[in-house]
Structure formats: structure tokens, C-alpha cells
Chains A and B, each alone.
Chain A
Amino acid sequence: MAEPIAPPDAASHAASSPPSSASLSPGATTLLFVTVLVIATSGLVYELLAGTVASYVLGDSVTQFSTTIGTYLFAMGIGSWLSRFVKGDVARRFLEVELAAALVGGGSAPLLFLGFARAEAFEVLLYSLIVVIGTLVGLEIPLLMRILKERLAFEELVSKVLTFDYIGALFGSVLFALLFVPVFGLNRTSLFFGILNAGVAVVGTFALRPLLDRGTVIRTRVIAAGIAALLVVGFVRADELTTWTEQDLYDDPIVFATQSSYQRIVVTRHDARTSLFLNGNLQFSSVDEHRYHEALVHPAMSAAARRERVLILGGGDGLALREVFKHGEVREVTLVDLDPAMTETAARLFADLAQHALEDPRLTLVNDDALVWLDERAEDAAPFDVVIVDFPDPNHFGLGKLYTSRFYRLARRALADDGAMVVQSTSPLFARRSYWCIETTMRQAGLHTAPYHATVPSFGAWGFVLARESRFEPPTELASALDGRLRFLTNDVLPSLFVFPADMQRVEVEPNRLNDQTLVRYYEAETRELER
């Protein structure tokens, strides 16, 4: 994908400005061919960056790549066409274009990341940037060819420039995929090529010295230094968007990262696989989240006497909510998630995955701490038929409190007498004591429990605890005639979830209390054992 080259403008031949390329030394000419290589590489990288960011952020990589690349190539055509209107002082204009490409191209990925977090009309920003960068890149080669045309025969000029241009394209595409994105990440790649563009401008002031007046040389060097400094600062501080080291933690490219007041939210995407991480811990992977969320939601929905009023505590990604809405009787859902940044991220990034559940008019969204919310909820407020508790694993006291007997007593208060509650409860296999600690704590709080588990490849063997106010038998069939309509759960599979193999069976543990958070200690010890 090299830049299409506009034919040298014959009309401008005679009319070109007084300093002529004839005065360029052979060394300067070689230097200019090297700049063609660099320009071609960075031009291609900007194009790939735009396409990658667009496909990461907006999903559907085929559409995004084809539209961004199409737009980009078209904008390059605009640039080439515009080059005809550059009359005189071509060398200076070339340097100006380089400087602009350095600034806009170099800053493009960070701008897109920031824009995604803040701007509503992300696509407008994306395509504006693509058009601007494409136009600038489209101007570069025609202008350079005009500078060189006096020095070389037409055949040689076209042959050499195009050769370097296509080699640059090869460099760009290979290095982008194999070196820059894996090592630098998107932001630093973009900033790095911006710095290269600024470097080209500086090199140009030497190679094109005979064609430039002293003022232009100095001004160009100063501006190039300023832009390079800005991009270097961005390069160093790119950590605040996505970090070099942070990217190392994830297998897939980070497409969104933000630090909310409560947690670090990172979304990665690779082809069709979208994953959410909170504070570095995987919350779901789109490949198998259906197993997790079907197993979380439907046993409780099926065990409850009614399914009209549902409470979800945690679950700001909206995926449990999606499963809840598969039950036609649902009239009202209250979802309590601490972090507004989480629900906003989900509404924008996971809308398709969640089948737009977060936009459903039956939903009341509350951003509050679930313990505080339950505590402050009026005691005589209408109870819920189903309570779904879906918090991150209890790896610190702030989360551990959401698994205490106090919490389950408050949750019980919100649960109808004939309702059902479910709690995501870590893995009964690799965090066996933690799992049974949660189950024990729920019984301590006066609930009757039915522990169960499901296999979610991203997590391993995963545990849940179903609970009701009085003694009950686990459900044997899915409510709302869902049998045969889900991807994972069927009536045949449902009873099998409640059977525990020997290595996951109950162990004696102490319950988790606000003033004695045994669970946090169990979980910490078990994850440490696992890492060893």
C-alpha cells in the first residue's frame, strides 16, 4: 500500500522559484531518498494506526479497516492534487508539510484514545484525523519529486522515488505488526513516527540548505525541536493512557484504559475477542462469557418463585443483565455498580455484546457501593424476586466486605421470602477454601444454600452459590422456556452443575465477617499458592 504518486506537474517546471535543485549536492540527494523511505514508512504506519484503533474501538475490523484505509488513500489523492497549487518555494512548503505530519500523525493515536474516553462523536474525530494525515502524506512525495526533478532524469526520478516509497511501505507494515505494536503499543508507535517526521524536517534543512533562506532553516529547526519535544513528553508519559508495561500484562492489544476513582479499567480486543480487566483481573472474555453469565443468572431466575423484580449488585458490564432480560416476566431491574466509569464504558464498548441491555427502560442504574446502598435502603422497600451478586474476587478488604455475613444479611432483607439469590464465589478448584468460605458465610447469615459450578475456560472451574430463605431443592429446569435457547445451559446440564467432584468438595472454614475478614486471607493465600 504505497502512496499513489501524482505525476510531476509539468506546468510548474518553468515557473519554479529562483533557487534551483540544480544546486543540491549528490550527498544531499541521497539524503532525500532516505527521507522518502522514512516518509513512506511513517505514512503507512499512520494509516495502519487509524485502522487498528478504529477496529479495536469500534469493533468489526473488516469494515473499519476497509473504510479507514479507503478514506486515507482518498485523502492522499486530495494531497497530491493540492500539490499543484503549491507555487514556488517548494522546499519550504515540503518542510512545513513534514512538521504538520509530525504533529498530527505523531499525536494521532493518543488523540484517538483521549477522544474515545471523552468525545461523544468519536467517528468524527477519527475520520477528520484520517483526512488531515492522509492529505499531508499525499503532499509529501509530489513536493519532494518536484525538488528532485532538476537533479535527475524523469525515468530515474520515478524509478528511485517509487522504489524507496514501496520499500518504506514494506518496512512500515512489517515493523508495525511485528515490532512497534507489540513493543511500543499504539500510542508510543504513533508518537515515535511523529518524532521521525520531525527529524525528516530537520534533515531536510540540511539537505535542502541551498534552496532555503536562513530564516526558514532556523524557524524549521526550532519548530521541529518543539514538536519533537512535545512528542517525547507524550512518549514518556504515554503510561497515563496505556503503558508499555501495562500492555505486557495483556495478551491482546489494549483498546481502552482508564483510571477511575475506584479502579483501573482496561479493555483489550483481538479479532472477535473482547476482554475486560479491572485492576488487572480478567472479568470476562467475550469468547466464553456466555458460559459464566448463563450459569450465574439462570439457576437463580429458575429457582425463584417470580422473576418480576431483579436486583443485580456489581455486574456493571451489563452482561448478567442481558441474561436477565431473556426472561419475559422481568418488569424492573435495579443494577448497583460502584463505578460510573464502568457502566459508561460498558454502555459504549459492550453494547452489542450486552444486546443493549443497559439501554433497556426497565433498568434503574445506581452508582453506589453495594453494601452502603443495601444498608441505606428503606427496610420496607419492596423486596426483589431475584438478587444476583457479581463482584470481583475478594482480593482486598474493600471487596471482602461485599462477601461478609453482614452483607448477606442486608441482601436477605432485600430478597423476597420466596425469591432466590446467587453469588459469584471464585473457583472451588483453585480457591477451594475461599469458595466454601463464601458458602459458609451465606449460611451463617441465615440463608439456605445450593452450591454449584460451571466450567468457563477463561477462568477454569468456576463456583456460584444459589441461596433462598428456606430449605430448597436446586432447580431442575430452566424458567421461561429457555431450554434449547441458550448457548451453554440446557435442562440436561442444569442438575449436573450441582454435583461436586471430590477435589472441589466442601472444606471446613471460618465465615467471613466485617471485623474478621477470613475470606481475604484465604483468597490471598490460595492465589499465592497458585502463582508459585
Chain B
Amino acid sequence: MSSRREMLRVLLGAPFVSLLACDETPAPRVPDGELLGPDLAFGHRLREPLPREAWNDAPTRRVSVAIVGGGPAGLSAGWRLARRGVRDVELVELEPELGGTSRSGRSELTRYPWGAHYLPLPPASFADLRGLLMEMGAYRSGAPAEEVLVREPEERVFFRGHWYPGLYPFAGASADDLAQLERFERLVETYVGSFTSPFVRCARDHLALDRESAASFLDRHGFTSARLRWLAEYATRDDYGLTLADTSAWAFLFYWASRASDDEDVRDGAPVLTWPEGNGAIVDHLAGVIGDRFRTRALATHVFEDPAGVHVLLLRADGTRERLLADHAILALPRFVAARIAPELALSREGFEYGAWAVANVFLHERPDERGFPPAWDNVLYDSPSLGYVTATHQRGRDLGPSVWTWYLPFTDADADEGRARLFAAEHGDLAEACVRDLRRAHPNVDACIERIDVWRWGHAMVQPRVGFLRGGARFDAPFVHGTIRIAHSDLSGFALFEEAFFHGVRAADDVWNELVGNPRDESAVASPRAESPT
């Protein structure tokens, strides 16, 4: 018990655990479940790769386009090529399933997310992404489909023993709190025109904001209200896995200001689209279009170019080796992997840090007790290290009886590696107990309702826009084409957002396609290759 308590302290932080610590009595049994996550053992074979010569007598397959990485960026690239009619494509993925951090699970009752779970409606100017939504039936007759718009009530916050509507705890807020909230909203409005989605289309002003933290920005503007600071930090933890002190103020404003524009349906802030399985619905759609032109459990250990083409050296889970020889390759991988397997590209890792997350799916056979505002899609606990939970059955309208809740815990350490170490020191029981303790605050009898808790450990869940991540603006122009190898990943933008992954995947695919059909390169959409600026 004491080691479990110690582990909870490590996971949740000492103040939080002492907050809960009226419980020297043994807690109810921690629910059973599985501990899931990327195949670390397989992935770590990159650390000591076999030499390239080991593939000398491996079978070789020629393809026109090889896509390495089956997350949202790689799938978007594959989707785009398929829609363009390019058939000679092969997508390879290390994991047994496609989808990356947008993957989802399925129970008899419902599908549920394992990671990203919503998409703000993109502005009309982001026509490719709106096109994807139309193709999915999620946008039709000039508006988002009703069934994918988050069903009301969208969100609520648990504050001082009660649930309240919305995310900001209005209950008991002082006049000064409310005045600060209003002033904050007005301040954000002044930035709206400068920020948009995708990231590369943002105006390149306000770069100075990247040199300070969101905390310093709020200080400078006199925002002292504890509730407002909590809400602001909830946003940075939720979207970036960072505290206010570590988030770039530019990225902070991007969060608030990029989701409003002059489009009619986005003016008051972009409506949020969701599915029971979260963004799993999007990646599943993309994968469906790609069809069978992919293979999983295939680890690309080397990617390099020579006069014969791009070589992608693959190691299968059963130890067999294979060489893909492609005319074009798209490296849809996070930077820390891409830099390792394609050393010739000399990809800089400066400014690419990744936060660790634990995601728990809580299977309930009935809904626990609670007080206050009725259940919402997104259920947030004030002053908790977690981000609360989203309810998988909400969107389809199953409000009573069994459900699946997806609970998120970001590791917001100043040093991302320390957070990762904390995450991987925790076992299933530790994370499940942290989850139940958190939920018990708002639902005292939740233990009796839980059937099972599965936990996913994401070591590198998302790239983090820390202070200085724009590298003085160089990130906007970071090269993504290296000969016939294109880089496509949301981390090029510095934001782990589906929109960014999609943008980069589509951009890489279009660049390949232009070359395949002999079109001139679209310079407006493609940053010219030049050296990354030094820090």
C-alpha cells in the first residue's frame, strides 16, 4: 500500500494525493484491465539497428510510393494519393494497427477513443480538410452534420462538490474573476485574424510572443484570477500536455484564436466535431480509402536514397527482412524516429519534444451517482492533474446504463523525459488507481459501477509547443522535401493536432503527385528546401 501511495504521489503529485489522503483505510480493490501501449520492445530495436548490409540478400519489392508511418499524417498522404488515382503505393506501420494516436477501441456497447477525440470544424479556407469531412458525410448541405456536432451538453466542470455547465466555474466567482474573464476574451479577440488552421497559414506576426511563456503573458496582462489561470492551464494541458510556464505564449494564443474566423459557421468559435471513437472515425475512413495497400508490424529501420531510388529497409516482427525500393517516399514519422532511421537527411531534433500521456478507458456497467449539472460529453474536474473524462456513449445518445469513459492524464513535467520515466514506472494498477481516485471525487460510488479499466501508456503522445518552438519563425519554413523523400508529420507544425497531420500528409502526397505527372512543384504550398535556422 505504501509503495502504491508513493506511486500515486509520483503520478498525481503530492498536493493532489494529500488532498485525497483521508484514506489510510484500504481503498476498494483496483479494477482489472489491460495495460496497453505501443510495442516498445519492437520499436526499441531501432536503437541498435542491424547494419544496412543485413538486407543485402533480403527480397526487394519495387513500389512507386512508400509511406512510412500509419498515423494520421501517413494515412492522410495515402488517402490523397488514392484519391488522385495513384495505386502503386505501400504504407508501412510498426504497430499492429493503423491510426497512431487517433486509434480507437471497441466493446460490445460502443467504440471509444484511445487518444485524440475531436476535431474543431476547419475554416472554409482549409478546403482539403472540409472536403474530407464531406466525403465522410460529416459535412453536408453547407453545414456540419448534426450527428457529429458535439451533442449538448458539451462540457461541464466539477467544482466544490457539484457539476456545473461549461468549463469555467462560475459558481462563487467574484466580480473581479468575471471582469478578468471578460477582459481575457476581449484580448483573445484582438488576435483572431492572426491565427488560423493549418499552422503554416498563420500570419507571421507576434513572433516575439514565442519568446515568453503563457504564464508570463498572463502575468504581464494582469490576469491573476485563480479560476482564469486554471482554465488557461487546462487548455494548455489539454492541447499540448504542458503547464502555462512551459507553453509558448504564441502557441497559447494559437489555441484560443485559431478556432474563430470570419467564416459564417466558425465565427463564434469553431464548432467541435466528434464521434464515439473520437478521431478513430477519421483515421478509419482514411484507411478504408487506402484499402489493402499497407502492412503492419513492419519496422522501417533505414531509409536512404541512392540512384536506384529510396530504400526502405523493413524488419518484420518475425525477424524476416525486406527491402522496399520506391521512386518516392513519405516519412510520416515523428522527428525522433525519422532522424534516427534517415541519418543522411540530417534532421534537426531541436525544438521537437514530446509529452507522455496515460489514457484509461473505464468500462461501466451503470452510471455512478453525482450531483449538479447533468452528464456531458467532456467532464472536467477542477484542480485535478487529469483532464477528466469524455463519455463514448454521449454522442449517440445513450445516456443511461452502461458506458465507457475515456480518462486522460498528461504528464506535464518541465522535462519531458522525466514525465516519460514516471509514466513507464507505473503499472496498470497504479494508473487504474490514480484514475479511480480522481473519478471518486465526483462520483463517490464509482467503484461499484466499474467493470474494467484498460490503460494505454503513450510515451511520445504529442509534440509540445514549448517556449521558443517557432525557432524565430524558422518553423514556418522548415524544409520537408529532401530529394525524393518528403517529411509529413504534425510535429513539423509543433502541434499534435489532426489538422496539422492532415495538412502535412496531403502536402507531401500532392508534391509526390505533381512530380509523378510532371506538374511543376506548387511553390505556394511547399516550403522551399533550405537549411533549418540554427537556434
Taken together as a complex, chains A and B put the C-alpha atoms of A369 and B398 apart, in Å, by 7
Q: Is the CB of B397 within 8 A of A401?
A: yes
Stretch of A28-36, A482-490, A513-521 with 4 or more beta carbons under 8 angstroms from chain B: A513-521
> Are B152 and A515 in contact, CB atoms less than 8 angstroms apart?
yes
The answer to whether A398 and B399 touch across the interface, beta carbons within 8 angstroms, is yes
Q: Which residues of A contact B151 (CB under 8 A)?
A: 397, 401, 514-515
> Which of B142-150, B224-232, B465-473 interfaces with chain A?
B142-150
A338 touches B400 (CB 8 A): yes
A262 to B401, CA, bound (A): 8
Docked complex Cα distance between A513 and B152 (Å): 9
Q: Convert B143-170 into 0s and 1s, putting 1 for each residue whose CB lies closer than 8 angstroms to a CB of A.
A: 0001101111110000000000000000
A375→B396 contact, CB < 8 A: yes
Are A369 and B152 in touch, CB under 8 angstroms? Answer: no
Find chain B residues with CB under 8 A from A375 CB: 147, 396-397
Give the number of chain A interface residues (Cβ < 8 Å).
21
Q: Enumerate A474-532 residues with CB–CB distance to B below 8 Å.
A: 513-517
Q: Does B120 contact A (CB under 8 A)?
A: no
Q: Which residues of A contact B271 (CB under 8 A)?
A: 515
Quick check: is B366 within 8 A (CB to CB) of the other chain?
A: yes
Say whether A132 faces chain B, with CB atoms less than 8 Å apart: no
Give complex CA distance A405, B152 in Å. 13
Determine whether B137 belongs to the interface, using a CB cutoff of 8 Å to chain A: no
Q: Contact string, A349-393, partner B, CB cutoff 8 A, digits 1/0?
A: 000000000000000000001011001000000000000000000
Contact A369 B366, beta carbon cutoff 8 Å: no
Q: With A and B bound together, what is the CA distance between A372 and B399 in angstroms?
A: 10
Q: Of A396, A397, A404, which one neighbours B146 at CB under 8 angstroms?
A: A404
Q: Mark A240-263, 1 if CB is under 8 A from B, else 0.
A: 000000000000000000000110
Partner of A397, one of B150, B153, B398: B153
**B374 near A: Cβ within 8 Å?**
yes
* A405 to chain B: closest residue by CB: B146
Partner of A372, one of B150, B152, B397: B397
Q: Which of A371, A405, A515, A517: most chain B Cβ within 10 A?
A: A515
Q: Most chain-A Cβ atoms within 10 A of its Cβ — which of B150, B397, B401?
A: B397
Best-surrounded residue of B151, B154, B396, B401 (most CB of chain A within 10 A): B151
Asked if B400 contacts A397 (CB within 8 A), the reply is: no
Residues in A with CB closer than 8 Å to B397 are 369, 371-372, 375, 401, 514
Q: A406 and B146 in contact (CB under 8 A), knowing A369-B399, A396-B374, A398-B399? A: yes
Cα A515 to Cα B149 with chains together (Å): 6
Bound Cα distance from A514 to B377, whole angstroms: 12
Chain B residues positioned under 8 Å from A409 (CB to CB): 146
Contact in complex: A397, B374 (CB < 8 Å): yes
Q: How far is the CA of A517 from the CA of B153 in the complex (A)?
A: 8
* Bound-complex Cα distance A140 to B399 (A): 55
Complex CA distance for A405 and B399, rounded to whole angstroms: 18
- Give the residues in chain A near B396, CB-CB below 8 Å: 371-372, 375
Q: How far is the CA of A396 from the CA of B153 in the complex (A)?
A: 10
Given A406-B146, A513-B146, A514-B146, does the pair A398, B152 have CB atoms closer than 8 Å? no
Within 8 A of B (CB), among A170-222: none
Please report the C-alpha to C-alpha distance between residue A514 and residue B150 in the assembled complex, in whole angstroms. 8
- Considering the chains assembled together, what is the distance between the CA atoms of A396 and B376 in angstroms? 12
Task: Point out the residues of chain B lying under 8 angstroms from A516, CB to CB.
Answer: 152
The residue of chain B having its C-beta at the shortest distance from the C-beta of A398 within the complex is B399
* Complex contacts, B398 vs chain A, CB 8 Å: 369, 372
* Set of chain A residues within 8 Å of B147, measured between Cβ atoms: 375, 406, 514
Known: A371-B397, A372-B396, A514-B152. Is A398-B374 also a contact (CB below 8 A)? Answer: yes
CA distance A398 to B151 in the complex (A): 10
- Shortest CB-to-CB span from B258 to chain A, Å, is 21
Contacts of A404 in B (CB 8 A): 146
Identify A398's interface contact among B150, B154, B366, B400, CB under 8 A. Answer: B400
A-facing mask of B28-51, CB < 8 A → 1, else 0? 000000000000000000000000
* Min CB gap A364→B, angstroms: 21
Q: Indicate if the CB atoms of B146 and A515 lie closer than 8 Å.
A: yes
Chain B residues whose CB sits within 8 angstroms of the CB of A338 once the complex forms: 400
Find out whether the CB atom of A262 lies under 8 angstroms from the CB atom of B400.
Answer: yes
Q: How far is the CB of B144 from chain A (nearest CB, A)?
A: 9
Nearest Cβ on chain B to A250's Cβ, whole angstroms? 24
CA distance A397 to B154 in the complex (A): 11
What residues on A are CB-neighbors of B150 within 8 Å?
515
On chain B, the residues within 8 Å of A401 by CB distance are 151, 397, 399
Q: How far is the CB of B476 from chain A (nearest CB, A)?
A: 34
Minimum C-beta distance from B535 to chain A (A): 44
Q: In the complex, which residues of chain B have a beta carbon less than 8 angstroms from the beta carbon of A400?
A: 152
Q: Are B400 and A261 in contact (CB under 8 A)?
A: yes
In the bound complex, CA of A211 to CA of B189 (Å): 93
* 448-476 of chain B: CB within 8 A of chain A: none
Rounded to whole angstroms, the CA-CA distance of A1 and B177 in the bound complex is: 72
| Shortest CB distance A494–B (Å) | 34
Asked if A261 contacts B366 (CB within 8 A), the reply is: yes
**A200, B153: Cα distance in complex, Å:** 58
Expressed in whole angstroms, the Cα–Cα distance for A80 and B400 within the complex equals 55
- In the complex, chain B residues whose CB is within 8 Å of the CB of A406: 146-147
CB-nearest residue of chain B to A263: B400
Cα A29 to Cα B508 in complex, Å, equals 105
CB-CB contacts of B378-397 with A at 8 A, as 1s and 0s?
Answer: 00000000000000000011
Q: How far is the CB of B152 from chain A (nearest CB, A)?
A: 5
Point out the residue from A262, A371, A517 that lies within 8 Å of B152, measured CB to CB.
Answer: A517
- Report how far A398 CA is from B399 CA in the complex, Å: 6
Please, what's the 1-or-0 string for B253-278, where 1 marks a CB less than 8 Å from any CB in chain A?
00000000000000000010000000
Q: How far is the CB of B390 from chain A (nearest CB, A)?
A: 15
Which residues in window 386-430 of A have CB below 8 A to B? 396-398, 400-401, 404-406, 409
Q: How many whole Å from A487's CB to the nearest CB in chain B?
A: 36
Give the distance in Å from the alpha carbon of A262 to the alpha carbon of B146 in the complex. 25
Distance of A398 Cα from B376 Cα, bound (Å)? 10
B residues near A517, Cβ cutoff 8 Å: 152
Complex CA gap A261/B366 in Å reads 8
Expressed in whole angstroms, the Cα–Cα distance for A517 and B399 within the complex equals 15
Within the assembled complex, what's the spacing in Å between the Cα atoms of A409 and B271? 21
Chain B residues near A405 (CB-CB < 8 A): 146
Bound complex: CA of A401 vs CA of B147, how far in Å? Answer: 11
* Complex partner residue of B401 from A261, A396, A397, A515, CB under 8 angstroms: A261
A375 closest partner in B (C-beta): B396
Chain A residue contacts of B149, Cβ below 8 A: 513-515
Q: How far is the CA of A50 from the CA of B366 in the complex (A)?
A: 36
Closest chain A residue to B395 by CB distance? A514
Beyond known contacts A371-B397, A372-B397: 20 more, CB 8 A cutoff: A261-B366, A261-B400, A262-B401, A372-B396, A372-B398, A375-B147, A397-B152, A397-B153, A397-B374, A397-B399, A398-B399, A401-B397, A401-B399, A513-B146, A514-B146, A514-B147, A515-B149, A515-B150, A515-B154, A517-B152
* Subset of 23 A-B contacts with CB under 8 Å: A261-B366, A261-B401, A338-B400, A371-B397, A372-B396, A372-B398, A396-B374, A397-B151, A397-B153, A397-B374, A401-B151, A401-B397, A401-B399, A406-B146, A406-B147, A513-B146, A513-B149, A514-B146, A514-B149, A514-B152, A515-B146, A515-B149, A515-B152
User: Residues on A close to B: CB < 8 A?
Assistant: 261-262, 338, 369, 371-372, 375, 396-398, 400-401, 404-406, 409, 513-517
Lowest 8 A-B CB distances belong to which pairs?
Answer: A515-B149, A371-B397, A398-B399, A406-B146, A514-B151, A517-B152, A401-B397, A262-B400
